[in-house]
Structure 1
């Protein structure tokens, strides 16, 4: 639910012009440490590229990081130095970085959110959010009651339902507001 909206939104933008817009030349390349990634709830996904096989990330315009559950090993990879360095490289070049839910914690771990506005998973059933506190501990200025927070080139969000809206915002940044609006309409949003 947290990574497929990026595939769908960018795919719709690439394939359907809505009759009033040019098609967007955007390809989504999924990456992982292994060709087969076991995601949350044990769902296995075959990725397009193995992270270590990519020689240069200069040709990529954006990075999207979905969240995941701790008991499905999300943090082991998200907190790795390889991922932290990738995040720092994208941010140093002011490239767009979009996260859904706890994906923002990987940004926090990398150090790029110190003093910046962001959000992450907020359990609406509890008064105190453990994950938002973790993001604060990384130095982020956590905006607690806003579902999507944008700070320059960084998009963060606070739960899985925000994923398509984060993808639309990333599409807008990569193309323009009209293309994002047209794609939303085409997709029924």
Structure 2
């Protein structure tokens, strides 16, 4: 069984988290059965960007990072307090742990800024929210990343993406990384994506 740590910051976008629970959950029941997602946060209750409240299964201090095979992180909104948790030392420790062990890290939209903030994107290709009105690409570049303005950028074990519209694609890319192309195509088909 491959365990995926779904790391949730206050102010995260629910839709960006739900793609991981759905795609990897479909795999658990309808695919090859090898994935299990555990939702983890710093608080007993988290408030999403649009005031939806979520109770994570575990608090970060209750888990052992070595028990997990991959890390998934949805993005969120600054106005909802996302960066308070996202840029915390606790989150940075988690990201560095997975990066040092070359375990898959999948981020959606501005969650890639977490990777940049902790220094693991130095001279690595990555992307983040890329709408022309946003300054997030410049922010990611200031963290030392080599910007590639594409929908999804995968560099080694790191997956970054440009906006919420990429969410399902990122989740399927993570599933393929953890299982196989054939299994991922089966799950996509069952979910109506083929």
Same fold (TM over 0.5): yes
Query: In the alignment, which of 55, 59, 69 is matched to residue 50 of structure 1?
Result: 59
Q: Does 1:172 align with 2:186?
A: no
Tell me the TM-score normalised to structure 1 length.
0.92
Equivalent in the alignment of 2:9: none
Larger radius of gyration, structure 1 or 2? 1
Separation in structure 2 between the aligned mates of residue 156 and residue 24 of structure 1, nearest angstrom: 25
Paired position in structure 1 for 2:27: 13
Say how many residue pairs are matched: 179
Query: Once the 2 structures are TM-superposed, how far is the Cα of residue 24 of structure 1 from its aligned partner?
Result: 2.5
In the other structure, the counterpart of 1:27 is 36
Question: Which residue of the partner structure matches residue 116 of structure 1?
Answer: 124
Runs of 4+ in 1 over 2 A off after TM superposition: none
Match of 2:81 in 1: 73
1:82 aligns with 2:96: no
For structure 2, the residue ranges without an aligned partner over 5 or more in a row are 1-14
Partner of 1:114: helix, strand, or coil? coil
Work out the CA distance in 2 between the residues paired with 1:130 and 1:167.
Answer: 25
Structure 2 residue matching 1:40: 3-state secondary structure? coil
Task: Write the distance in 1 (CA, Å) between the matches of 2:184 and 2:30.
Answer: 12
CA–CA distance in 2 between the matches of 1:179 and 1:58?
Answer: 25
TM-score, normalisation: structure 2: 0.90
Alpha-carbon distance in 1 for matches of 2:151, 2:78 = 21
> 1:49 and 1:160 mapped to 2: Cα distance?
25
Q: Is the 8 A contact 1:24 1:175 kept in 2?
A: no
Structure with greater strand share of residues = 2
- Please state if 1:138 is matched with 2:152: no
Q: Decide whether the 8 Å contact of 1:117 with 1:141 is kept in 2.
A: yes
Separation of aligned partners in 2, 1:95 and 1:35: 27
Alpha-carbon distance between aligned partners in 1 of 2:58 and 2:48, rounded to the nearest angstrom? 16
Gaps of 5+ in 1: 18-22
Q: Distance in 1 between matches of 2:55 and 2:90?
A: 20
**Partner secondary structure for residue 58 of structure 1:** helix
Inter-partner Cα distance in structure 2 for 1:166 and 1:120? 13
Q: Secondary structure of 2:106's partner? A: strand
Secondary structure of 1:64 counterpart:
strand
